[in-house]
């Protein structure tokens, strides 16, 4: 593990990067464009639908939007408006709560509270509990997903924000909000049996997919509800989802994105992080040797196959299509968060996270305070800040690492 001087240097650098981003966020506000908003316009949906049906024949139809995203992403303002995103608001709230846990500044608690109030107002009605989706339609290889369809990959960020805000403030309102989210996750998502005591969670209330990270998010929310809020009746579904994940880890330690879908049989960076971090969080409660082993094997594969020769995150180990990006900063964010979580169990993960955070600050944080969105092949940098992808993730990741570094400074 690092010595006191190294930890102190890390803390100073993290506080500087976090402070610069906080000031930018104060000026920018919580609304944002998004990398996928333009694809939710009528033309974007039409071109993607044809691309998935016809393949390369439809490339000329999607090319104008791809070129716009690379060369002049700000042009999207002619076609779409800025929006609020649950993933961003949830992670920003948890970031401010991380800072409050260290410095106890009322301002950070107040910012987190305002974001959580906004999340409550944005919940999608008509379900068993609070839930959230995206404010745009999304066309992918499985079909059209309509805006405000609640997803298990968005909703847990609000759950985490409410649960953490309850822990920080003691206000029962936030406990009740988190329990409401957990009820949606338990009652409205579908289970697809994959064995006598295993089941895959659906991505939304409307599908029966077998997406690995969706089951990981659901299992974490349900286990958290069991152990933090005493909802013991949620344990059975949580365990079945966990068994599904463990049994579909490959011999080499990896997980495919999804099962039974040729178009989704890829292994990528940030979805691998999602699986690993949710397994780790689950295991803080259940202390299972099987889960611990899965995380270790998964980490070994991840470190070996999902970083390039420069030590930076690769998007894919097994990729579905040709990529134009050299570096996706969403991957950077999830790598830092994962390393912060695994710090005590896998010290190498913490070391890697601190190295990545240093490079993020030195090479990819802009003078305005926000971060580069992605780097394309050839070195071209995308600099339009999207809060959902990846500004909020990067901010949250740095605060996660700051919490880990502060803990180490107090124990060294």
Peptide bond into 390 cis (omega under 30): yes
pLDDT for the residue 321: 65
356, 327 Cβ separation under 8 angstroms: no
DSSP structural state of residue 138: E
Angstrom distances, CA of residue 356 to CA of 8, 166, 341, 351, 363: 17, 31, 15, 9, 10
222, 184 Cβ separation under 8 angstroms: no
Phi and psi torsions of 98, nearest 5°: -60, -45
CB atoms within 10 A of CB 178: 27
Q: Note down the domain range covering 73.
A: 38-79
* pTM for this predicted structure: 0.96
DSSP structural state of residue 32: B
- For residue range 150-194, list pLDDT tens digits in order: 999 999 999 999 999 999 999 999 999 999 999 999 999 999 999
- Is residue 201 a part of any domain in this protein? no
294, 308 Cβ separation under 8 angstroms: no
Positions of the chain with pLDDT lower than 70, given as ranges: 1, 3-5, 319-322
- Is residue 59 a part of any domain in this protein? yes
- For residue range 364-378, list pLDDT tens digits in order: 999 999 999 999 999
pLDDT for the residue 120: 98
pLDDT for the residue 8: 84
- Is residue 56 a part of any domain in this protein? yes
pLDDT for the residue 10: 92
Q: Can you spell out the DSSP letters for 111-125?
A: HHHHHHHHHHHHPPS
- Is residue 6 a part of any domain in this protein? no
Q: Measured between alpha carbons, how far is 163 from 178 in angstroms, rounded to an integer?
A: 6
86, 158 Cβ separation under 8 angstroms: yes
- Is residue 72 a part of any domain in this protein? yes
pLDDT for the residue 139: 86
pLDDT for the residue 6: 78
pLDDT for the residue 1: 59
- Is residue 48 a part of any domain in this protein? yes
Residue 210's SS3 state is: coil
- Is residue 65 a part of any domain in this protein? yes
Phi and psi torsions of 29, nearest 5°: 85, 175
* β-strands 267-268, 316-318 pairing: antiparallel
- Is residue 60 a part of any domain in this protein? yes
Domain count, the chain: 1
pLDDT for the residue 339: 98
Classify residue 385 as exposed, middle or buried by CB count within 10 Å of its CB (0-12, 13-18, 19+). Answer: buried
Q: Measured between alpha carbons, how far is 237 from 333 in angstroms, rounded to an integer?
A: 30
CA 126, 130, 133, 135 dihedral sign is positive
pLDDT for the residue 104: 95
219, 282 Cβ separation under 8 angstroms: yes
């Amino acid at each position: 593990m690092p010595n006191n001087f190294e930890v102190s240097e890390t803390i100073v650098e993290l506080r500087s990067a976090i402070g610069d981003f906080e000031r930018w966020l104060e000026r920018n506000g919580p609304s944002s464009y998004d990398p996928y908003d333009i694809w939710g316009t009528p033309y974007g949906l039409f071109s993607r639908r044809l691309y998935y049906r016809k393949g390369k024949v439809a490339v000329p139809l999607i090319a104008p939007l791809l070129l716009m995203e690379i060369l002049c992403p700000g042009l999207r303002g002619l076609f779409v408006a800025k929006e609020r995103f649950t993933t961003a608001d949830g992670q920003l709230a948890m970031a401010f709560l991380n800072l409050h846990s260290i410095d106890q500044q009322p301002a950070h608690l107040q910012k987190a509270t305002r974001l959580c109030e906004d999340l409550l107002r944005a919940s999608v009605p008509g379900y068993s509990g609070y839930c959230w989706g995206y404010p745009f339609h999304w066309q992918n290889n499985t079909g059209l997903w309509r805006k405000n369809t609640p997803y298990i990959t968005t909703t847990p960020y609000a759950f985490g924000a409410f649960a953490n805000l309850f822990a920080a403030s003691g206000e029962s309102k936030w406990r009740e909000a988190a329990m409401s989210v957990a009820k949606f996750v338990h009652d409205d998502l579908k289970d697809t049996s994959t064995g006598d005591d295993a089941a895959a969670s659906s991505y939304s209330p409307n599908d029966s997919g077998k997406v690995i990270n969706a089951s990981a998010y659901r299992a974490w929310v349900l286990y958290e509800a069991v152990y933090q809020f005493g909802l013991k009746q949620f344990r059975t579904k949580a365990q079945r989802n966990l068994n599904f994940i463990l049994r579909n880890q490959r011999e080499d330690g990896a997980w495919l994105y999804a099962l039974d879908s040729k178009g989704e049989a890829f292994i990528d960076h940030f979805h691998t992080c999602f699986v690993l971090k949710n397994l780790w969080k689950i295991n803080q409660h259940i202390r299972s040797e099987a889960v611990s082993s899965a995380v270790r094997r998964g980490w070994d594969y991840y470190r070996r196959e999902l970083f390039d020769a420069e030590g930076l995150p690769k998007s894919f180990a097994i990729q579905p299509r040709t990529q134009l990006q050299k570096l996706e900063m969403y991957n950077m964010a999830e790598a830092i968060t994962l390393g912060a979580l695994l710090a005590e169990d896998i010290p190498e993960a913490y070391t890697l996270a601190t190295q990545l955070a240093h490079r993020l600050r030195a090479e990819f944080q802009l003078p305005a305070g926000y971060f580069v969105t992605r780097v394309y092949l050839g070195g071209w940098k995308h600099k339009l800040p999207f809060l959902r992808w990846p500004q909020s993730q990067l901010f949250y990741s740095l605060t996660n690492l700051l919490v880990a570094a502060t803990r180490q400074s107090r124990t060294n």
